[in-house]
Amino acid sequence: MTVSIDLGELAKHIGARLEGTTTQQHVSGIASLDRATSEQVSFFSNRAYRTELQKTQAAAVILKDDDRVDCPVAVLIMDNPYLGYARAAAWFNPVPPVVAGIHPSAVVDETAIIAASACVGANAVIEAHVQVGECSVVGPGSWLQTGVIVGQHCRLIAKVSLLTGTCLGNRVWVHPGAVLGADGFGLANDRGVWVKIPQLGGVRIGDDVEIGANTTIDRGALGDTVIEHGVKLDNQIQIAHNVHIGAHTAIAGCVGIAGSAHIGQHCMIAGGVGIVGHIEIVDHVHITGGSVVLQSITQPGVYSSGTPLQTNATWHRNYHRFKQLDELAKRLHVVERKVAQTS
Contacts of 287 (CB under 8 A, 6+ apart): 267, 268, 269, 270, 273, 293, 302, 303, 304
309 near a copy of itself, judged by CB under 8 A: yes
What is the footprint of a copy of itself within residues 117-176 (CB under 8 A)?
121-123, 125, 140-141, 143, 145, 157-159, 161, 163, 173, 175-176
| One-letter amino acid of 153 | H
Cβ of residue 29: shortest distance to a copy of itself, in angstroms?
9
210 near a copy of itself, judged by CB under 8 A: yes
Catalytic residue (one of 241, 248, 286, 333): 241
**153 is a catalytic site residue:** no
One residue of 3, 90, 113, 128 binding a copy of itself per CB under 8 A: 90
228 near a copy of itself, judged by CB under 8 A: no
One residue of 87, 153, 204, 244 binding a copy of itself per CB under 8 A: 87
342 near a copy of itself, judged by CB under 8 A: yes
Cβ of residue 26: shortest distance to a copy of itself, in angstroms?
19
Look at residues 202, 207, 198 and name the one whose alpha carbon lies nearest to residue 226: 202
Interface segment toward a copy of itself; rule CB under 8 A; list 52-60, 65-73, 130-138, 298-306: 298-306
Alpha carbons 199 and 216: distance in angstroms, whole number = 15
Alpha carbons 254 and 233: distance in angstroms, whole number = 10
Of 22 and 199, nearer to a copy of itself (C-beta) is 199
CA distances from 82 to 42, 61, 97, 306 (A): 10, 11, 25, 30
Q: x/- contact string, 28-67, with a copy of itself (CB under 8 A)?
A: --xxx--x----------x-x-------------------
99 near a copy of itself, judged by CB under 8 A: no
Q: Which pairs count as long-range contacts for 78-81, CB under 8 Å and 24+ apart, including other chains?
A: 78/14, 78/15, 78/16, 78/17, 81/43, 81/44, 81/45
Of 111 and 314, nearer to a copy of itself (C-beta) is 314
What is the footprint of a copy of itself within residues 233-252 (CB under 8 A)?
234-236, 238, 240, 248, 250, 252
CA distances from 210 to 168, 171, 206, 314 (A): 11, 9, 10, 42
26-27 and 5-6 as β-strands: parallel, antiparallel, unpaired? antiparallel
227 near a copy of itself, judged by CB under 8 A: no
Alpha carbons 71 and 52: distance in angstroms, whole number = 10
- The answer to whether the Cα torsion of 66, 67, 73, 74 is positive or negative is negative
27 near a copy of itself, judged by CB under 8 A: no
Catalytic residues: 241
